[in-house]
């Protein structure tokens, strides 16, 4: 049912408006309107009342309207939709995220919140209520999912009944593939609520039994495709398939889009999403606008690409009667752009209200998240530098080589996340060199030890420093640190400095702090504006550049935080 209580009055008013006997709120005229149903563009106008489109091409000689907006011949496309985003683990809280995201034309997101709720532990239900408080005031539509993994089932059950939650978030493969009773219960609750269920796992890694089980129990979509085989299986088993751009490397994304084009997979099977994306990328490259443009560049018809970021997603979540097209009865979420193949959101409307212009947000919520900030509970007081020394997995027979772990950034795909390599071994020390390339060292450190502290040491490909160290922490599902450097003493010092915060990213050199980014909202989000957040992230990268790092792509803090996804997946973190 549409919002409001007096529906009789509303339907009568709409009738009277269309007869010219009552006032509409807004007439948007002089537009080139995208019809996502017929995949055509036509010249016309849109009449808006009570947040929704009520007429296409109304007779302007008879209608009454409070305001007229001249579209200047721009293309009008539906407000863009991100089909899957971890909106609480981008470092930015919901209103700060709006500053960076909405000016790119995004008016709706389907969002996971599992990381923050997992970080909150026993306060997970309270954290969810605080996170969602005032969600309806945000300048984007938020549809959220209760945590399918990393939280106590009682948190999941409570959150399933909250607004704006519409279903169950991604489950943990290592549990659901073993017939875990907690997962059975979470799935049952979601089914009882009639909610959606997010899928999660590269389908080529699943057994045939799992590929049948997941859609059979109601998994609604799949966002974890990394190659052509993944795509083929995903659509064959009936998953509405989400192509993700936030965490994948450019080569992974290219391969996925090439497969769609070359194999001529019908694009109605696909939606577009980011999964994880930094505020910096939103500001520099864009959001769904950039993704659509990239799809067009790779050979996907621009109109079909726009549908993949609007109508297809709305239809997949059974909301195409509300959003996803510019047709009567739908919310007036509208983006005006001067091109369909290279999306340029000049004007962004939500509910018929202009909320962004020329990449600047005009209206935001005034939600305050400072009450969610938490204090540190330290756990590394007894950590010693020796615990961060690389212990070889194996030493060669002649004693000149050591086998060690080499880790890579998450975005190049799980298959490439880690490998065991041979490096030079001299005087009892593994030398961080492989195939003529020098690498930094990486330590994965359990924050709270129950007896022997769990530590994994190896080399790392994604960030390089000649000296000094950089470290951060992630609290979910078990608190761990990652720290990168060349020297165990410096790395130990850096980790202990991060330990003073509930969450932070810190750069140190010569046992002194060079740059600090606090993440005080349950250890996963910064209580900062977008300007403050980007400035702090830039300071981290600048400090590391002075220590030999040459960063490309996502800021270092985002790269490091994304490591925990694969560290958890490949069981480098104990639970």
Between the two ends of the chain, the Cα-to-Cα distance in Å is 43
Q: What is the pLDDT of residues 119-155, one digit of tens each?
A: 999 999 999 999 999 999 999 999 999 999 989 999 9
Q: Is the Cβ–Cβ distance between 323 and 313 less than 8 Å?
A: no
Give the closest residue to 47 by CA, choosing from 18, 30, 27.
27
Partnered with residue 53 across adjacent β-strands are 48
Q: What is the pLDDT of residues 103-115, one digit of tens each?
A: 999 999 999 999 8
CA dist., res. 342 & res. 75, Å (int)? 11
Q: Is the Cβ–Cβ distance between 465 and 548 less than 8 Å?
A: yes
DSSP 18-38: HTTSSEEEEEEEEEEEEETTT
In the chain, pLDDT over 90 holds for what percent of residues? Answer: 85
Residue 87 dihedral angles phi and psi, to the nearest 5°:
-75, -15
Segments of the chain with pLDDT less than 50: 1
């Amino acid at each position: 049912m549409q919002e409001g209580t007096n529906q009789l009055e509303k339907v009568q008013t709409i009738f009277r408006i269309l007869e010219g006997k009552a006032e509409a709120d807004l007439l948007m005229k002089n537009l080139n309107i995208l019809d996502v149903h017929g995949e055509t563009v036509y010249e016309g106008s849109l009449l808006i009342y009570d947040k929704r489109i009520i007429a296409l091409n109304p007779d302007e000689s008879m209608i009454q309207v409070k305001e007229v907006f001249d579209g200047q011949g721009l293309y009008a496309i539906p407000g863009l939709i991100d089909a899957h985003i971890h909106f609480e683990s981008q470092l930015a809280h919901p209103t700060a995220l709006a500053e960076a995201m909405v000016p790119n034309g995004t008016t709706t997101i389907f969002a996971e919140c599992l990381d923050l709720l997992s970080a909150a532990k026993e306060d997970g239900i309270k954290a969810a209520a605080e996170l969602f408080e005032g969600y309806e005031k945000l300048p984007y539509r938020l549809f959220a999912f209760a945590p399918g993994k990393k939280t106590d089932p009682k948190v999941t059950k409570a959150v399933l009944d909250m607004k704006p939650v519409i279903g169950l978030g991604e489950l943990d493969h290592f549990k659901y593939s073993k017939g875990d009773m907690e997962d059975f219960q979470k799935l049952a609750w979601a089914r009882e609520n009639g909610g959606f269920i997010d899928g999660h796992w590269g389908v080529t890694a699943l057994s045939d039994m799992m590929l049948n089980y997941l859609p059979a129990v109601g998994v609604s979509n799949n966002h974890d495709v990394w190659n052509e085989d993944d795509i083929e299986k995903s659509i064959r088993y009936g998953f509405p398939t989400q192509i993700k751009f936030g965490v994948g490397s450019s080569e992974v994304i290219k391969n996925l889009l090439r497969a769609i084009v070359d194999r001529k997979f019908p694009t109605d099977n696909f939606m577009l999403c980011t999964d994880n994306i930094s505020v910096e990328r939103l500001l520099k490259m864009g959001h769904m606008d950039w993704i659509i443009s990239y799809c067009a560049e790779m050979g996907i018809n621009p109109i079909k690409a726009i549908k993949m970021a609007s109508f297809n997603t709305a239809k997949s979540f059974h909301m195409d009667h509300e959003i996803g097209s510019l047709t009567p009865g739908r919310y007036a979420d509208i983006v005006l752009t001067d091109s369909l193949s290279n999306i340029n959101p000049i004007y962004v409307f939500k509910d018929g209200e202009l909320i962004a212009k020329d990449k600047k947000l005009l209206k935001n919520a005034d939600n305050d998240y400072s009450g969610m900030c938490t204090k540190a509970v330290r756990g590394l007081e007894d950590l010693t530098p020796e615990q961060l020394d690389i212990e070889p997995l194996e030493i060669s027979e002649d004693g000149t080589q050591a086998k060690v772990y080499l880790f890579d950034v998450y975005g190049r795909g799980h298959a490439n996340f880690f490998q065991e390599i041979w490096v030079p071994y001299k005087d009892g020390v593994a030398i961080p060199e492989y195939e003529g390339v020098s690498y930094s060292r990486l330590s994965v450190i359990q924050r709270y030890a129950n007896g022997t502290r769990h530590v994994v040491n190896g080399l790392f490909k994604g960030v390089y420093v000649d000296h000094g160290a950089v470290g951060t922490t992630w609290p979910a599902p078990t608190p761990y640190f990652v720290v990168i450097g060349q020297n165990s003493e410096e790395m130990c010092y850096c980790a202990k400095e991060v330990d003073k915060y509930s969450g932070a990213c810190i750069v140190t050199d010569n046992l002194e702090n060079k740059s600090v980014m606090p993440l005080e909202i349950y250890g996963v989000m910064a209580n900062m504006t977008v300007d403050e957040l980007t400035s702090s992230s830039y300071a981290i990268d600048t400090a590391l550049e002075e220590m030999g790092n040459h960063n490309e792509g996502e800021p270092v803090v985002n790269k490091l935080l994304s490591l925990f996804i694969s560290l958890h997946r490949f069981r480098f973190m104990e639970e």
